[in-house]
Chains A and B, each alone.
Chain A
Amino acid sequence: GQIISPVMELKMFLLVLGLLVGTGSPDMGSSQGKCSESLVQGPQTQENRTHTTHSKKPFPVLSFGYDYVRLPFEISLWVLLASLMKLGFHLMPRLSSIVPESCLLIVVGLLVGGLIKLVGEAPPVLESNIFFLYLLPPIILDAGYFLPIRQFTENLGTILMFAVVGTLWNAFFVGGLLYGVCQLEGHRLVTVDLLSCLLFGSIISAVDPVAVLAVFEEIHINELLHILVFGESLLNDAVTVVLYHLFEEFSSVGTITVTDVLLGIVCFLVVSLGGIVVGAIYGILAAFTSRFTSHTRVIEPLFVFLYSYMAYLSAEVFHLSGIMALIACGAVMRPYVEANISHKSHTTIKYFLKMWSSVSDTLIFIFLGVSTVAGPHEWNWIFVVATLIFCLVARVLGVVGLTFVINKFRIVKLTSKDQFIIAYGGLRGAIAFSLVYLLNTDHFPKRNMFLTAIITVIFFTVFVQGMTIRPLVDLLAVKKKQETKRSINEEIHTQFLDHLLTGIEDICGHYGHHHWKDKLNRFNKKYVKKCLIAGERSKEPQLIAFYHKMEMKQAIELVESGGGSKLPSAMPSTVSMQNIQPKKPPQDRALPQLSKAREEEIRKILRTNLQRTRQRLRSYNRHTLIADPYEDGWNEILIKRKKMKELEKKISQMNNYLTVPAPPPDSPTIARARLASDPQAWGLKSATESIPSIKVDLASPQSPESVNIVDEIGMKGSQPKVSEEGGGLTMKVPSPTKPRKDQTTDEDNDKEPQQRLMRCLSDPGPAAEEEDEDEPFLH
């Protein structure tokens, strides 16, 4: 329970801590390692040992060989600690609702670092190599792959303004003012020259994507603000890279000329555009590769990860912006890869990315805490406080000033509430820390002071701003993220609007951004998709793709919730096809063509669950029941009937239904049902076009058994519900109009509503005389 778990967590925590401290101290490990090695290699190194050449040692039953596994062991232990911490926080809901996860993790890091120091060892520091090469890419890839492209491109201008102009403003403001302060301060700080200050300013001014993600993920603000702050944190990487290299290069020289500034601007363009191009190239390669993976589905996710990582590394080779390369790669490859890979691969990619980014994120914050303890620090009150103040002031001024300019060009203006959140959400994080850590102490004698100042700013932003942003968001009543599912109507109208606006622009003769977007889409459809998407999916328009995705999702929901143990629930009629179909003569229904692969997938999903239930239902066909109504089946029928009564009561109280009208057309069950209910096959003059529908009640999930029933009985169109109602007790299939024979009134009562209800399922309730009762149920 609640009381036990924190205690257990504490025990686990202490145990892991102890292990870490133990491994953290090298002496302990290696000395024992040496002993063990000599123990293991005893026989071979006999000649080296003076005292063991002649005596026979007893065979070591149990020996200790730690050095062998030391590195992977320590890494695993750290990751384990990080994950256990994460687990622990979520078991304490009170704590995790007040304090954001990042803060807790830093505190844990501080504790661990403190403990290690207490033992007398040097705590490990967050090496910049490890950070940039291993810890950062998963987080960025996760962000880039799942970037909401539509919102991102709609707000691109704003995001770029904040990222480029905002970061530049911050860098120079903070750097310049700090230089002024240093000069004014006098004896200790006067050695800090302008370039060092500017470099420091440029490092600390960049909003950090890791910190932003960590905090914003928990507060669920509306998508616009999220994409603005987050997009800014991603795109300012190019600016940071350029400024960092610029100032670092010239700090040794000491001066900067105008040419250098111009070169810097060129460098910025090269770095950012180059990064994007590199990412796009790898993205296209990945998309192209995924076209051929239909026979090796298992390694599909691997391609996604590898190509993205290679994009990052390749960009880093040329000192281009690795982050932008990663984002570009993920964003470019996603639409094509998702069209090509299987559903399972898609799930795998999603979960692996989330897992890795989560672990990375946790490790980063813990290591930040440990590194803080490790130092080395040089505390200077004036510098640190000045840095903090200038950072905050610069951020606020920058956001306000830029918004004033941006709002002239935006349709959806940014309100002052929005501006406040954007300014407040400018968190600094581990990237700044790592960049300072990379500084060479020879060129920057005050590096330790910088380090201290940066850590202070990071702590302030993560702790103070991170903790207070949630209550502030509630206080200011900032619009939160809408959790609504995207409906097919919205999708249709979004498409419709796009075409409408493009058309109006064409009529105006004005080539606005709808026109160009439309051109890009057409180019994409005509050439790019053909290359990069396998098979027929390349011709699938977006609306159909959306529709199939929705169907698939609902089919899966249906199967997963059905579970095989639920009864075939009598679904009360919500809206079904006959409610909306105008009364007209039956007509031919052309079965849509689905690609074989899709068909197979849907079929497989439905089949895996249906197989479980098929067994049970077999015993309820009319023939076995008729054969021996007093065997075990009879009791089960009674129990089932009782359960169904209860279910029905429950269902009638619920009022939230999701209808899935058009089932995957080619699934075997539905296809047969449709054929069965096809009026022409029956010779019915039924007015309504008979299209069976699956109704999924989210609250009381419909079991696949009902689908199965349609299958089992579908062929000759007998009433499906007969099976589970034990209709085998009578020879005649009950019809809604005729009174039932051999049935008690009790049965009649619960059958009546169910009959009507089930009619919706396999449509329509035919007159009983239509049915051919001699036809076998099952085939």
Chain B
Amino acid sequence: MGLEQNEVSLEQIAILHNRFKQLSQNEETLRRDDLKTIQDLESNPIRYQIIEAFFDRRNFQKDGVGSVEEIGFEEFLTVMSYFRAPAHHITEEQREEIRRAKLRFLFNMHDTDNDGTITLEEYRHVVEELLSRSGALGRETAKGIADAAMLEVASISVGPMAPDEFYEGITFEHFLKILKGIEIETRMHIRFLNMDTAVFCKQHSV
């Protein structure tokens, strides 16, 4: 079973490596512009956020902050690893960990100024981007939708508030709470990426 996994994972990693080389035009590092050249991404309303996520040091699992200008294959793979499906036989704690990691990725995508909360402005930006393809109707209703969503988070997480209290923004814990209904660990995966980067890293260092 373990051997099978290794073989499969090596193949997948090879494919991704090819893709990396293709995107970066055979250089060692990848830049934002390289990703922007992908044709299919043009029609994606949140392409900028997706591209940013690849260059966000918070996603590299090394406790860094801020963003970088270029990334190597290891970082590329690390970001990709967020989209693996959880293995079948894992414990509840492991499942919860994977869930937290994936939701952290999403949270980082929203929390652009890295203050630990998603403020109303940032959330509005998210919704506006989502509706950016819908013209004028989208922009105007986006505010209303973002406001509604924020109020919902506040009322679920904090409960009744006095008029002079102020809800700073969605913290990571609140974020976890409101997205409890979506099974993130299984929803957020690409079928293609059923591999184990830990294996790769070990092999790589060897």
Contacts and interface: CB of A to CB of B under 8 A. Distances in A.
Nearest to A505: B190
A192 interface: no
Interface in A476-513: 482, 484, 486-490, 492-497, 499-510, 512-513
A543 interface: yes
Contacts, number: 196
B114 to A, nearest CB: 18
Interface in B161-204: 161-163, 165-167, 178-179, 181-183, 186-193
Interface in A492-536: 492-497, 499-510, 512-515, 518, 522, 536
Residue in A482, A539, A575 whose Cβ sees the most chain B Cβ within 10 Å: A575
Contacts of A505: 190, 192
A515 B16 CA distance: 17
B135 A579 contact: no
A770 interface: no
Contacts of B192: 505, 508, 510, 512
Contacts of B153: 489
Given A509-B22, A575-B151, A582 B50 contact: no
Interface in B128-167: 130-131, 133-138, 140-141, 144-145, 147-156, 158-163, 165-167
Contacts of B19: 507-509
A578 B150 CA distance: 12
Contacts of B187: 497
A492 B165 contact: no
Residue in B80, B134, B163, B191 whose Cβ sees the most chain A Cβ within 10 Å: B163
Contact of B182 (A494, A513, A515, A756): A494
Contact of A662 (B38, B83, B106, B148): B148
A683 interface: no
B98 interface: no
Contacts of A506: 38, 40-41, 44
B130 A659 contact: no
Given A492-B130, A573-B161, A512 B190 contact: yes
A487 B163 contact: no
Interface residues of B, number: 70
Nearest to A574: B160
Contacts of A510: 190, 192
A257 interface: no
Nearest to A509: B19
A428 interface: no
Given A541-B133, A575-B161, A489 B149 contact: yes
B130 A496 contact: yes
A499 B145 CA distance: 18
Given A411-B85, A760-B163, A490 B181 contact: yes
Interface in A592-635: 592-593
A543 B128 CA distance: 11
Interface string A630-642: 0000000000000
A497 B145 CA distance: 17
Given A580-B150, A592-B144, A657-B160, A487 B46 contact: no
A501 B46 contact: no
Given A493-B106, A508-B80, A579 B137 contact: no
B126 interface: yes
B23 to A, nearest CB: 8
B120 A593 contact: no
B119 interface: yes
Contacts of A482: 181
B62 interface: no
Contacts of A580: 120, 147, 150-151, 154, 166-167
B120 A488 contact: no
Contacts of A504: 50, 80, 83, 190
Contacts of B136: 593
A214 B50 CA distance: 46
Given A489-B179, A493-B182, A573-B160, A544 B138 contact: yes
Given A503-B41, A507-B38, A495 B181 contact: no
B126 A496 contact: yes
Nearest to B35: A507
A759 interface: yes
A501 B188 contact: yes
Nearest to A506: B40
Nearest to B179: A493
Contacts of A760: 163
B41 A657 contact: no
A709 to B, nearest CB: 18
Contact of B155 (A413, A544, A658): A658
B160 to A, nearest CB: 5
Given A496-B106, A543-B131, 17 more contacts: A411-B189, A501-B190, A504-B50, A507-B35, A508-B193, A510-B192, A512-B191, A541-B138, A543-B127, A574-B155, A579-B161, A580-B147, A580-B154, A581-B120, A657-B155, A661-B147, A759-B163
Ranked nearest first, the 3 interchain pairs of A and B with the lowest CB-CB distance are A592-B140, A506-B40, A662-B144
Interface of B: 16, 19, 22-23, 35, 38, 40-41, 43-47, 50, 54, 80, 83, 85, 88, 106, 109, 119-121, 126-127, 130-131, 133-138, 140-141, 144-145, 147-156, 158-163, 165-167, 178-179, 181-183, 186-193
